Amino acid sequence: MTDCGATLTGVVGPGRSGSMERPITDGAREAMLLAALDRVDARSLRDALQLVAEPRFPISKPIANALAALGRHRDPTSVLGRTQYRAAVPCAAAVYAEPCLAAVIEALGHHADDPTREQLLEAIDAVGANYDDVTVSVMLASVADSKLASSDLCFGFLDSDERFGLPGWEQFERSPADPASERPAAPPRASAKLRAERRTKKQREAEDRRRNAEFANRAVEQVRLARKKERAASLGRPFSQATDKPAPILPTIGRRRAVLTPLEEEFDRDDPWSAGIVLAWVPFDVNDADHPNLDGKVRPCVVVAGTPTHLLVRPGYSAGGVKSRDWKSVPVRHWRRSGFDEPTWIDVNAVRVSRPEAGPTGFLEPDDWNSLW
């Protein structure tokens, strides 16, 4: 999902009815996704979910288990909003709508990265003979729930367009929790042991939410990569995770050595992933008022140095967020060539993260890397 700084104003374009001038929150994107899937007939969704069980989709076990349970349900669309299935909803939508998304991307051509409203409408009309309005709506909702540059544009379509709009999608938003009804009143003098148990419980719940969100993001990406491999094989072309870019080559000539603090000297500057782009969970600097239950999110990061089990990274932030307006953040000039999906600013502060299983999707160009030091 994208940062919540973008608003519907200026995204929807002419012809919008009403004036919903408020941020597009993660909860709104999730509600739009549930509203789109609610229109899918049970049999079609079950057929799509059966594909996830195939070995070509290496989805994490928690998400795979949730999807398998959905596939066995008589009417999976009726239970998507339940807590145990929410983490699997983005993956279910991606599997169902991926053929339509691939066709639209092909119709957009070189405009696929960041199309205008008119270009997107033209591409949808071009593939309209093969996909009905329900499938197109799920495709738009899947993109709206993603980190793609066109996510806000797709959200605007679903909120306002006469043909693909989802009226009443707000009813799928989670109701704000009532603190008084969620937990009983604390005794006048809670013991130190009770307070410690409460803190431990909150930390465990926050970690579970973070892990579920990370699993969902990974699952959606794995589905899309598997489908890209299939399309590349059918066309007789070699597959690369960055099919629209040359394979990443580790930059070495003219690259400065990373500057580490004494506390960071345990990390190896010459780690083979140094200057690489990886996805890692990064904690928020401060509590986010729009996401009080989240303490971080998965971001593209630049690897500064590494150990066998951990990486020292500097997180990347998209346009419109606070970090992109911080004078200390460094903009990436060759962001597309380096493996980022959108214009990105690199934070000045480094954080320690667990070393992910997947390697870098690209590497910073030498001049971008040198500008960090």
Q: Determine the pLDDT at residue 217.
A: 61
Do 301 and 275 touch, CB atoms closer than 8 A?
Answer: no
> Which H or E element spans position 69?
helix 61-72
Q: Determine the pLDDT at residue 305.
A: 92
Q: Determine the pLDDT at residue 3.
A: 35
**Cβ neighbours, 10 Å, residue 265:** 10
Q: For residue range 318-356, what is the model confidence (pLDDT) as tens digits?
A: 876 666 566 678 889 988 888 888 888 998 889 998 888
Read off the tokens for 77: 């669309």
Ranges of residues in the chain whose predicted pLDDT is under 50: 1-20, 177-183, 185-187, 239-240, 242-253
Q: Determine the pLDDT at residue 235.
A: 57
pTM here is 0.47
Closest CA to 269 of 365, 350, 201: 350
Q: Where are the domains of the chain?
A: 1-183+203-239, 262-370
Q: For residue range 79-138, what is the model confidence (pLDDT) as tens digits?
A: 888 887 777 788 888 888 888 888 888 888 888 778 888 998 898 888 888 888 888 988
Read off the tokens for 65: 């288990």
Q: Determine the pLDDT at residue 301.
A: 93
Dist CA 211 CA 218 (whole Å): 11
E strands within the chain?
277-283, 296-306, 310-318, 330-331, 344-346, 351-354
> Which H or E element spans position 217?
helix 192-234
CATH-assigned architecture of domain 262-370: Roll (2.30)
